[in-house]
Structure 1
Amino acid sequence: MGERKVLNKYFPPDFDPAWVPKGKRSKVMNIRMMLPFSVQCKTCGEFMYAGKKFNSRCEIVEGDTYLGLRKYRFYVKCSVCCAEIAFKTDPQKADYELEAGATRNFESWKLNRKQEEEAAKAREDEDKDSIKALENRALDSKIEMDILDALDEIKAINQRHRKVDPLHSLLLRDKERAAAAAAAAG
């Protein structure tokens, strides 16, 4: 009787894998994935939140790379109206870029990151101007002095707390209770 679970196939000694034609494979992959950001469908207005699972189609974006990294495009369908929503990876920003079918909802962390980048760029531009650079250094030294003063205050408070001995406090409390009991009795 033949083996039920065949793990190996017989290959004749004269077998050459180059003779086997390469199988045709679709360039589009079907992937079960979660939506990486919250969107609103342009067709029906449905909100779809980050983490909602979809069966998506994934393809490699031709001719679009970043530092040798390939970009991928994903197609998902709206859960209400089945309109197609397309977005692609953006390795430069470590994020995704919405292309069609929906609008991306506001994300506060994105705004904070943008403001930090703008502040850093403005600071860099100011450093090129010698007067502004001098003002910035004075401001930095003032901030550093304020931080050191606050640190000294914290150290002083900690030093005061270190001087308090809990055992000594218990002994004083016991003496006060004994004195109060003696005064009440006598």
Structure 2
Amino acid sequence: MGERKGQNKYYPPDYDPKKGGLNKFQGTHVLRERARKIHLGIIIIRFEMPYNIWCDGGKNHIGMGVRYNAEKTKVGMYYTTPIYKFRLKCHLCDNHFEIQTDPGNLDYTILSGARRQENRWDPLQNEQVGPETKEVQKRLFDDAMYKLEHQAKDAKAAADAKPVLQKLFERNQSVWDDTYEANCRLRSEFRHQKKELKGQQELDRELLAKSSLDVALLPETDQDRQMAALMKLQTKSAVERESEQRLDLLMQQALPGAKATTFGGLKRQKILNTQLQVQDLGIRRKQSDQSEEAPSPPAKSLSLVGDYSSSDNDSNS
């Protein structure tokens, strides 16, 4: 397609080659609309975001690789390397931010309007090969002994990593040797995950229908369970809390050296629970009212002292 551009240009009948090229004849710039601010030293270019940033206007996240139409301006020199400044407009809000090149550190610097998302780490911690600094490069160029030591260190690191790489290669080869088995394993895992997601969606749908809500439910976490348990404890009524306190007092040991089994154990606890429930629900009051309306015959009391007079009469008779 590149060779067709020169042939597809339209030359008007009054074109004079003596005046120069076609753009100069028509009084236009070769960059067209991108050069509308060229008299100010600004050129519109296509700029790609070098790293993840946070926009200060709408507090939005902009990922690395997002492209913008940026105003490119030359602001200085680093030795013989020019320093450029780029002015961009956020595509999510009306905020503008400026980014400048940093040739000394081989990086970009944010001047205003945004801040960098800090997710950098030392590549040596992950056993990666990091780039050499300028001091090390200069020393490798000037010092032959240091260069020899550096090469020996790199050769030793490669020899140490070779067994690990071989083990990883053998493991991957054993796992992916049978493609059919690996495919079946992956499909079974996907089916299991899909089944779990579908079941969770059904539960969420039932909960929303029961609560008459129209919101998106997030996955349940341990913190949510703890908060629900605390709210459940706080929803107890005053009567229930008072009943629990009385039950705790009744179940305490009367003597310091006594055992819990001497007070009835589980049987006594069940009896106390039923008594407290009867008291809380007001059943005793109903029973007392019923007893006043229809008095029951007095129960015969058992006396521990025998009736010797009646026994004597019976014997005499």
TM-score bracket for this pair, using the shorter chain length:
0.3 to 0.5
Q: Which has the higher helix share?
A: 2
TM-score by length of 1: 0.48
Which structure has more relative contact order (CA 8 Å, sep 6+)? It is 1
TM-score by length of 2: 0.30
Q: Which has the higher strand share?
A: 1
Larger Rg: 2
